[in-house]
Each structure stands twice: as C-alpha cells, then as structure tokens.
Amino acid sequence: MNVQKLNRTLSILWLGIIVVACTARPFLVAERSTNPELVLNRTWQWVSTVTPAETIDVPHPERYTLIFVDQGTLQAQFDCNRSGGNYTMSAGQLSFGPLRSTRMACPGDSLDTLFMRDLQQVVSFFIDNGRLYMALPYDSGTMIFRPAP
C-alpha cells in the first residue's frame, strides 16, 4: 500500500513538473514583435536575403546599414555610398519613400544596387530573437538584419 501511495505521489509530482515546464516555456522563448519602438535609433546590418529561389549571404554586413531615426527619417550605408530617405512604420507595416544615395563606384563585389532595390520593395517587418526581418511583397523574399555590435 505504501508503494502505491509513493508511486501515485511521484506521478502527481512529475505531472506538476511537466505542466509547469510547458506553461513556463513561452516566457523563456523570445516572441516575435511588430513594435516599431524596437527598431528605432539602432544600427541594423544586412546579413542576408532569403527568397524562394535563393539565399543571398552578405559577406560584409557592416557595409550595409540602416538607422531608423524618429519622425520617419532613414540614414543608411549602401556599401561605399551614404544614403538616406524617408520611411513609414506602424505595427508590423513598413515602407520606404524614395531613397537617395551618393554615387561612388563601389568594389565589383558590391551588393549596393540589390540592397537599395529590395529596400524599396519592403512591405512589413518583425523582430525575432533580436533580428530584424523585412518582408518583400507577395512572399518573394525576406531581408534579414542583425543589430550592429
């Protein structure tokens, strides 16, 4: 009889541990956020773009940066060119106005044209695990950024 009570007590204890572990998990895992405040006034470095057809890995993310300044002003670095422009952002939604850029000739391996082209197509964003994801229209791709060190 004591063995049965002990087994029952241990079963209840294990069940309690499992319930606590399962309900605590959402608090341990970073959740996806569409809060614009998490994007502002930080330097973001472009690390890759993933499309249904390919993944473009950026060999020098520090050469492709964005800073979303309050009041909708963007400061950017497109490889060897400085850039800027305007943006509109609300919860999960993001779009860029015309972007301007200096016109220095960048190295042959530069991704500056692709970077500028894709930015002007962005329609939405979210933050997940500290990274910024910007979606291109019609599920055609996602640009991925990390915070600058």
pTM: 0.79
Provide the pLDDT for residue 1: 55
Provide the pLDDT for residue 8: 53
Amino acid code (one letter) for 86 = N
State the average pLDDT over residues 88-106.
Answer: 94
Give 117's contacts (C-beta < 8 A, 6+ positions apart): none
What confidence tier does 61 reach under pLDDT thresholds 50, 70, 90?
A: very high
Give 32's contacts (C-beta < 8 A, 6+ positions apart): 126, 127, 128
Q: What is the percentage of the chain residues whose pLDDT exceeds 70?
A: 80
Mapped onto helix, strand or coil, the DSSP state of residue 135 is strand
What average pLDDT does the chain have?
Answer: 86
Mapped onto helix, strand or coil, the DSSP state of residue 39 is coil
CA 24 to chain centre: 25
Provide the pLDDT for residue 16: 42
Provide the pLDDT for residue 19: 40
* More confident of the two residues 88 and 16: 88
What is the rounded distance in angstroms from the CA atom of residue 98 to the CA atom of residue 76?
13
Provide the pLDDT for residue 22: 42
Q: State the DSSP string of 104-134.
A: PPPPTT--HHHHHHHHTT--EEEEETTEEEE
Q: State the DSSP string of 48-106.
A: EEE-SS-EEE-S-GGGEEEEEEGGGEEEEEETTEEEEEEEEEETTEEEEEEEEE--PPP
